[in-house]
Amino acid sequence: MLHSAETLSKRIDEAIRQIPFDLKPATLFDPIRYALSVGGKRIRPLLVLMATDLFGKELESSLGPAIGIEIFHNFTLLHDDLMDNSDIRRGKPTVHRKYGTNSAILSGDAMLIESYRYMATAPPAILPELLALFTKTAMEVCQGQQLDMDFEKRSDVTESEYLEMIRLKTAVLLGCALKMGAMIGGATSQDAELLYDFGINIGLAFQLKDDLLDVYGDPRTFGKNIGGDIVCNKKTYLLIKALKTSRGSQHEELQRWIAATQFDREEKIASVKNIYNDLNLRDISENLIEKYYLAALDALSSILISDERKKELVSLAENLMYRVK
């Protein structure tokens, strides 16, 4: 019987609550427990279970790797917050703000190690291949994070470079989650690869949607203040496209806002947003999101399984694409 995403999410939450963090010293493991307790969408472990479920396999064998990928994801967020010197994550103090920088670094390292322990619970027959996939993906995520940091020092980042960065930083982990679940579920290598492609395209669309919401989202539903990327000159698809397509006084105004060190936050957001509007960047971005979304659905449709069994994955993809937060 195919399980609903809601049922699978509850199973993931319960499994995470039952992780035994009773080892010593508590100063190492308390930050890990805290990092995993502040919630989030739990999309990646959900994709592992949904992929296994798609091929009719019992979920027990994929639960460990699903938890492993969630621990790894939260490890990347912990270190990401450190590198960005962020104060808040999901409405609560970041790990390094609550426990200190050195503890956060070491607890993050321990999370990476712990993620491999859970990955090792996969069925022995596919364990070498699964670990190879996970290790390759983990390195790609690090490559993406480094590119993201490098881009902050550059003014000539291209669209293709940005799309490759978000493929590495965000999309490959979604693809990995789906492919791992498919492998555990007994899928053919072709079907597992098609699910990976589905995840890559959903991941690209997901990050582009995130960029869009930061400018055009409703702060009442988005969960944080709008315009943060504009304020800090973050290299998003919108800014890169604006730098490429703006001309004359419009381009000069954009460059002035980027160079400004003292400014009124709301004025900068409104001015840069007006430039985006004049350049029709919202529609251009939404068209690109739709392109990746349709590519994802095309990959999913190529898997020779009934559409009825694919409904939950299609529904999840729709929720990610048309979300407001």
pLDDT along the chain (325 residues), means of 10: 90 92 88 87 96 94 97 94 84 89 95 97 97 98 96 94 98 98 97 98 96 89 78 96 97 97 96 98 97 97 94 92 75
* Amino acid symbol at 202: I
> Residue 23: its pLDDT value, please?
83
Give pLDDT, residue 141: 97
Pick the CATH number of 5-321 from 3.30.930.10, 1.10.600.10, 1.10.3680.10, 3.40.30.10: 1.10.600.10
Q: How does DSSP classify residue 20?
A: -
The residue type of 13 is: D
What's phi and psi for 284, nearest 5 deg?
A: -60, -45
3-state helix, strand, coil in the chain (%, to 5): 75, 0, 25
For helices 237-245 and 248-259, the axis angle rounded to 10 degrees is 140
Count CB atoms within 10 A of the CB of residue 74: 23
Give this prediction's pTM: 0.94
Bridge partners for 88 per DSSP: 93
pLDDT recorded at residue 265: 95
How many other C-beta atoms can be found within 10 angstroms of the C-beta atom of residue 4? Answer: 13
- For the chain, report the end-to-end CA distance as a whole number of angstroms: 31
